[in-house]
Amino acid sequence: MASASSSTSSPQYRSRFGDTTLTKVFVGGLAWETPTEELRRYFEQFGEILEAVIITDKFTGRSKGYGFVTFREPESARRSVADPNPVIGGRRANCNIAALGRPRPPSPRLGIIFLCIPHARKT
């Protein structure tokens, strides 16, 4: 019988590659015709790739226009998103570290404190 402590002593990851928090890159905006090989070919300049996949519709098999690239090293993933909008397959894509999401401009509301100071009444 398996010990319950063995399952709690190490984290369980959905990926067969373990923790991909800093190594998995989301690639959106791909042309439907872009093959996985082209995705891999573009990204291998940044480091060793464990997996490159283009997500397809389960009924039609047609590309959904996005995919993921998982690198062995976090530094490779960081280098690969230095240009967040590379041209892949003749089309401008958008890339980011999957767990972090797309970069967003800072909100103008952050860090602003509104003070209500009553005006002095003139008598």
The per-residue pLDDT for range 84-122, each reduced to its tens digit, is 999 999 999 999 999 888 766 665 555 544 444 555 656
The answer to whether 91 touches 34, Cβ cutoff 8 Å, is yes
The per-residue pLDDT for range 2-13, each reduced to its tens digit, is 444 444 445 666
CATH of 17-97, one of 1.10.1740.110, 3.30.70.330, 3.20.20.410, 3.40.50.620: 3.30.70.330
Instruction: Please state the length of the chain.
Output: 123
CA distance 90 to 88: 5
Q: Where are the domains of the chain?
A: 17-97
Beta-carbon contacts of residue 26 (< 8 Å; ≥ 6 apart): 66, 68, 95, 96, 97, 98
Against a cut of 0.75, is the pTM above it?
no
